[in-house]
Structure 1
Amino acid sequence: MKALLSSRPVLWFLFLFNLTVAAVAPFAVDGSRGILTGVGMGVVALGAGSGLLRSRSRHA
């Protein structure tokens, strides 16, 4: 499972999808639930982005 989650295509998908949801959620869902959804998805997107940067530095 770890090999699948650390592969570059999966990390790119997680990064882009969660970043998009984090940007749209506060406008699509009312109140604090939308804000918390955006923050949670943003944290996941940051984690995937950091995984992409770490894997890039290993390959270079």
Structure 2
Amino acid sequence: MKTLLSSRPVLWFLFLFNLAVAAVAPFVVDGSQGVMTAVGMGVVSLGAGVSLVRDRGKKVA
């Protein structure tokens, strides 16, 4: 499971999808639930983005 989640296509999907949801959630869901959804999705998106940048220099086997 770890190799699947750390593959580049999955990281790109997590980064872009969660970033899009984080940007739209406060406008679609009202109140604090929308804000907390945006924060949670933003954290996941940042984590995937950091993994993409950190592993950028490594060669793919």
Residue aligning to 2:4: 4
Q: Which residue is equivalent to 1:58?
A: 58
Stretches of 4+ moved more than 3 A in 1?
A: none
| Correspondence 1:45 to 2:49 | no
Q: Which runs of 5+ in 1 are unaligned?
A: none
TM-score by length of 1: 0.94
Measured after TM superposition, the shift of residue 55 of structure 1 is 1.2
Q: TM-score, normalised by structure 2?
A: 0.93
C-alpha deviations, 1:8-52, integer Å up to 9, x for none?
000000000000000000000000000000000000000000010
- Unaligned 5+ segments in structure 2 are none
Number of aligned residue pairs: 59
* Structure with higher helix content: 1
